[in-house]
Amino acid sequence: MSYLQISRVGKTFARGASSTEVLRNIDLEIEQGEFVSIIGHSGCGKSTLLNLIAGLTEVTTGGIILENAEVNAPGPDRAVVFQNHSLLPWLTVYENVNLAVAKVFGRTKTPAQRHSWIMDNLNLVQMAHARDKRPTEISGGMKQRVGIARALAMEPKILLLDEPFGALDALTRAHLQDQMMDIHQRLGNTMIMITHDVDEAVLLSDRIVMMTNGPAATIGEVLAVPLNRPRRRLELATDRTYLRCREAVLKFLYERHRFVEAA
Amino acid sequence: MTLPATTDTPIAAIPLKPRTTATVTALRPASRRIAFAAIAANLARTILPPLVVLAVLLAVWQVVFSQPGSSLPPPSQVWTESYDLIVDPFFVYGSQDIGLGLRVFTSLQRVAVGFGLAALVGVALGALVGQSIWMMRGLDPLFQILRTVPPLAWLPISLAAFMDSGPSAIFVIFITAIWPVIINTAVGVRNIPEDYRNVARVLRLNQLEFFTRIMVPAAAPYIFSGLRIGVGLSWLAIVAAEMLTGGVGIGFFIWDAWNSSRLTDIIVALVYIGVVGFVLDRLVALLGTIVTRGTARN
Ligand SMILES: Nc1ncnc2c1ncn2[C@@H]1O[C@H](COP(=O)(O)OP(=O)(O)OP(=O)(O)O)[C@@H](O)[C@H]1O
Ligand SMILES: [Mg+2]
């Protein structure tokens, strides 16, 4: 049995008399240590799927099982990096990470251990220098890195990233993607990342989950990316496999996907 | 925290010797003169206009009410008749004959209790109401109506309920001040971004942790604007409240002066109440900016 098992999951939002079926029949299995991207057009239900895995919203049909336990509530074993960082503005960088560490390791680690664990995670995303700054005083990319540090500091079974680099400029994004690959390489976390960016998906992922258009979106295709790690973006720019994967995703999104929409 | 430091740096970085020595003055005469001029100009801009307006008003008042048989005393008469009250706020001539500063202090203690209770209960109730859409729908119209009831109107009810003047007075202040605190807190809590709630849910914060770590700081700007309105209202209620208690408060002093026709004393007391109310308002505002530093925008 897989590490994370999503079986026949559907989600229907009901508001009064009207209801919208956003997701239908999602089947997906993810192994421990895998990096999986979810790609699809805006509004198809990617965030909804991620929130279901996080337990922030409840499934309407089907079920999600993580390491033999059913997911039915949010918890720190499924840390989320939100699209707009969602750091608490009244806390410093350090305190933001500490909020998570104090809650998750309040009983199991001593204060000294917790402190060094916080600093470890800030170092991991190279943000230790800004530990006493407030979120308003640092750049968008830095905020996103702190958000990642906070999530990693929970020592989650799965890291869920909702378009973590969506709002960033291309250079910052490339830099953070490299850091993300480095972290994944070092820690071997299981990660699920939503993205709009085809290159980002191919560069980072072991598998790319491509979703059809909503309403009642489902998984259209799953593409394995058989590239060796560590990956270097410059070398990959001309790599055959890379280009083939990239083309497959583009074709799905801009050929087959249109066809689906018209049907 | 870094802002004040940056404004200091140019001054702190340059002087090699104490600034009082002649050398330093000679080295940077221009900048010092400019600084003085800027400060003086700034002071003139903020202080001069109100002073001028005050002088004009006093003059008009003096002229209009100087005719024999006018209904109110002119400023000169206030000065001569209430001289004691004006020059010494802290005299004690007898148990009922004390300076207005001491009276204000008594009233402030009363307001502190009434407003303190209103703040505590108001934030708690506001949090409750803001968390639940049904509470909001059910209670908001009630709050909107009750908040318009003037302090004096609460007097008979609260006397009947408490049958004792002390607690009744506190209650009048409390019930006058609590509504804006509740309403603003509720709005603040309702406006907490969904993301913050999700962070709390992922971390499995319990109710108390959520209240202290997320809700209060996130809603703090709203809470403080409610507290600011509330402190103003509770100071407004002081005269009504002290009609009940008697004693030495500034509110009762006005009531008492009216009953013994000491109009000039009332005028002095009004100035006291106005100034203290202004200071209270600014204090809460200042506290708000300190506490919500960095919270308001992100
Ligand atoms: N709480 C909700 N109630 C009702 N409908 C919702 C709710 N949340 C999402 N939806 C609907 O579900 C659909 C999918 O939304 P979702 O946010 O998952 O899309 P997305 O793929 O993440 O889009 P984007 O790429 O723009 O972030 C949308 O049509 C949205 O209107
Ligand atoms: Mg989304």
Are A90 and A66 found together in one domain?
Answer: no
Tell me: do A50 and A84 sit in the same domain: no
Structure tokens at A72: 């039915």
Type of residue found at A163: E
Residue A172 is assigned to a structural domain of this protein = no
Strand-pairing partners, residue A194, are A38, A162
* pLDDT more than 90, % of chain B: 46
Exposed, middle or buried by CB within 10 Å (0-12, 13-18, 19+), for B22? exposed
Stretch (H or E) spanning B279: helix B263-291
Shared domain for A136 and A110, answered yes or no, is: yes
How sure is the predictor about B295, in pLDDT bands with cuts at 50, 70 and 90? low
Q: Give the least confident one: A99-108, B226-235, B247-256.
A: B247-256
Asked if residue A180 belongs to a domain, the reply is: no
> Do residue A13 and residue A27 come from a single domain?
yes
Q: What is the pLDDT of residue B36?
A: 85
Minimal-distance CA residue to ligand 1 atom 9 = A48
Q: Residue A228 belongs to what domain range?
A: 1-74+160-167+186-263
**Residue written as tokens 């700007």?**
B221
* pLDDT above 60 for B5: no
Pick the CATH number of B81-292 from 3.90.600.10, 1.10.3720.10, 3.30.565.60, 1.10.275.10: 1.10.3720.10
> How large is the ipTM?
0.89
Identify the three-state secondary structure at position B193.
Answer: coil
Inter-chain residue contact A136 with B220, CB threshold 8 Å: no
Q: Is B72 helix (H, G, I), strand (E, B) or coil?
A: coil
Q: What would the pLDDT profile of A152-169 be if each residue is shown by its tens digit?
A: 999 999 999 999 988 888
Query: Is residue A69 located within the same domain as residue A3?
Result: yes
Is A84 among the domain residues?
yes
> In this predicted model, which residue has the larger pLDDT, B17 or B253?
B253
Domain presence at residue A89? yes
Sign of CA dihedral A196, A202, A205, A206: positive
Global pTM reads 0.80
Sequential DSSP letters for B196-247? HHHHHHHTT--HHHIIIIIIHHHHHHHHHHHHHHHHHHHHHTHHHHHHHH-T
What distance in Å separates the CA atoms of residue B169 and residue B180, rounded to the nearest whole number? 19
Classified as helix, coil or strand, B289 is helix
Looking at the structure, tell me whether residues A143 and A104 fall in a common domain: yes
Domain membership of residue A179 (yes or no) is: no
Looking at the structure, do residues A85 and A67 belong to the same domain, yes or no?
Answer: no
Q: How far apart are CA A252 and CA A204, in angstroms?
A: 18
User: By the 8 A CB rule, do A80 and A160 touch?
Assistant: yes
Segment A193-247, tens digit of pLDDT:
999 899 999 999 999 999 998 789 999 999 999 999 889 989 998 999 999 999 9
- Least Cα distance to B187 among B140, B153, B243 occurs for B140
Name, in order, each residue with C-beta under 8 angstroms of B257's C-beta and a sequence gap of 6 or more: B263, B265, B266, B269
Q: How far is CA A6 from the centre of its chain?
A: 16
Alpha-carbon span A108 to A129, nearest angstrom: 27
pLDDT of residue B201: 95
Distance CA A47, CA A30 (A): 17
**Which chain B residue's Cα is nearest to A85?**
B195
Q: pLDDT, tens digit, for every residue of B148-205?
A: 998 889 988 998 999 888 889 999 999 999 999 999 999 999 999 999 999 999 999 9
Q: Where are the domains of chain B?
A: 81-292
Q: Does A154 touch chain B (CB under 8 A)?
A: yes
Q: Which of residues 133-152 of A touch B (CB under 8 A)?
A: 134-137
Q: A9 lies in a domain?
A: yes
Q: What angle do CA B259, B234, B240 make, to 5 degrees?
A: 20
**Residue range B120-137, pLDDT digits in tens:** 999 999 999 999 889 888
CA-CA-CA-CA torsion sign (B204, B209, B213, B216) = positive
Closest CA to A89 of B210, B219, B181: B219
Are A60 and A131 contained in the same domain?
A: no
**Residue at token pair 């410059």:** A234
Q: Looking at this protein, which amino acid is placed at residue B216?
A: V
B18 torsion bin: left (phi>0), alpha (psi -120 to 50), beta (else): beta
Residue A85 makes CB contacts below 8 A (sequence gap 6+) with A135, A140, A143, A144, A146, A147
Distances (CA, A) of B239 to B84, B100, B108, B192: 22, 14, 12, 38
pLDDT at B91: 83
Residue recorded with tokens 């809700």: B215
Closest ligand to the CA of A44 = 1
Judge contact between A9 and A52, C-beta under 8 A.
yes
CB-nearest to A80 from B196, B198, B213 is B198
Asked if residue A249 is part of any domain, the answer here is yes
Q: How distant is the Cα of A90 from the closest Cα of chain B, in angstroms?
A: 5
Q: For position B151, what pLDDT does the model report?
A: 86
Give the Å distance between the CA of A83 and the centre of ligand 1.
Answer: 13
The distance of A80 to chain B (nearest Cα, Å) reads: 8
Interface test with A, best of B3, B191, B202, B215 (most A CBs within 10 A): B202
The region of weakest confidence among A171-185, A240-254, B7-21, B94-108 is B7-21
What is the pLDDT averaged over residues A121-132?
93
**Ligand 1: centre distance to CA B94 (Å):** 74
Cα separation, B133 vs B118, whole angstroms: 23
Q: What is the DSSP string of chain A?
A: --SEEEEEEEEEEEETTEEEEEEEEEEEEE-TT-EEEEE--TTSSHHHHHHHHHTSS--SEEEEEETTEE--S--TTEEEE-TT----TTS-HHHHHHHHHHHHHTTTS-HHHHHHHHHHHHHHTT-GGGTT--GGGS-HHHHHHHHHHHHHHT--SEEEEESTTTTS-HHHHHHHHHHHHHHHHHH--EEEEEES-HHHHHHH-SEEEEEPPSSSB-EEEEEE----SS--HHHHTT-HHHHHHHHHHHHIIIIIHHHHHH-
Report chain B's terminal Cα–Cα distance, integer Å.
16
Residues A14 and A139 occupy one common structural domain: no
CATH number for the domain that contains residue A241: 3.40.50.300
Task: Give the count of domains, chain A.
Answer: 2
Residue carrying structure tokens 């933001």: A96
What's the average model confidence in pLDDT over A72-94?
91
Distance CA B77, CA B53 (A): 20
- DSSP conformational letter for B94: S
Per the CB < 8 A criterion, the answer to whether A193 and A38 are in contact is yes
Q: Using CB atoms within 10 A of its CB, is residue B37 exposed (0-12), middle (13-18) or buried (19+)?
A: exposed
Q: Which atom of ligand 1 is nearest to the CA of A50?
A: 18
Chain B's closest residue to A134, CA to CA, is B294
